[in-house]
Amino acid sequence: MSLFFLILCEMVSMDFLPIDVLSRWVHVGTAITLVGGSLFLRFVLLPAATSTLTEEEHDRLRASVIARWKRFVHGGIALFLLSGFYNYFRAMPLHKGDKLYHPLIGTKILLALAVFFIASALVGRSPTFAAWRAKPRPWLMTLIVLSAVIVGISGYCKVALKGTVQPTTANLKGDAASGAEH
């Protein structure tokens, strides 16, 4: 408890908002959960189910897993959108005129939308994507590869493209009060 209090006191004295940390935790935690779950499905559960279950048992297991996993997928997409847009709008003042940051983040967002689509199709009920759900291996692999590219872009932007202006609660409040656009 005292460590939490020390961290909280340090955060209050810093030039960032506690919600910035919470948003980062939510975003990274959601990525860990959904990408990790997708890796587990593709490389552990699917091979084990295929090698040990009859087709009928596999179909029942698939339906049960999808029913539970879709809650994580849909909730995760919502958390990604909320925390992602918050993080994006907080980062914009740091990267005014940055010619590499904006295209990379735009690419990351487009790839994330593709991942959301694939993940939704794999847990959805649409007959259009029934074949994807019946044979999910290539789609899970596509989702995993796209997710790895997204993580790579994110890591590069966070470490290599720190921005030109460090945000402070004072200059962000000042920009908001003056009506400056980000």
Domain annotation covers residue 40: yes
Residue 171 domain-assigned (yes or no): yes
3 within a domain of the structure (yes/no): no
Q: Which two tokens stand for residue 171?
A: 């200059």
Domain for residue 28, yes or no? yes
Please check whether residue 130 lies inside any domain of the structure.
yes
Task: Tell me whether residue 6 is in a domain.
Answer: no
Residue 155 included in any domain = yes
Question: How far is residue 138's CA from residue 145's CA, in Å, rounded to a whole number?
Answer: 10
Q: How far is Cα 66 from Cα 14, in angstroms, rounded to an integer?
A: 43
- Give the dihedral of Cα atoms 54, 57, 59, 61; nearest 10 deg: -130
- How many residues are given for the chain? 182
- Cα–Cα distance measured from residue 58 to residue 46, given in angstroms and rounded to the nearest whole number: 9
The two tokens of residue 93 are 């003042």
Q: Residue 39 to residues 11, 45, 60, 140: CA-CA distances in angstroms?
A: 35, 9, 21, 8
- Structural domain span for residue 106: 20-178
Provide the domain count of the chain: 1
Written as six digits, the tokens of 155 are 């890591």
pLDDT per residue rounded down to tens, the chain (182 residues): 667 666 665 655 566 788 999 999 999 999 999 999 999 999 999 999 999 999 999 999 999 999 999 999 999 999 999 999 999 999 988 898 889 999 999 999 999 999 999 999 999 999 999 999 999 999 999 999 999 999 999 999 999 988 765 555 554 554 544 444 44
Where b means 16+ CB within 10 Å and e means fewer, 130-142 reads eebbeebeebbee
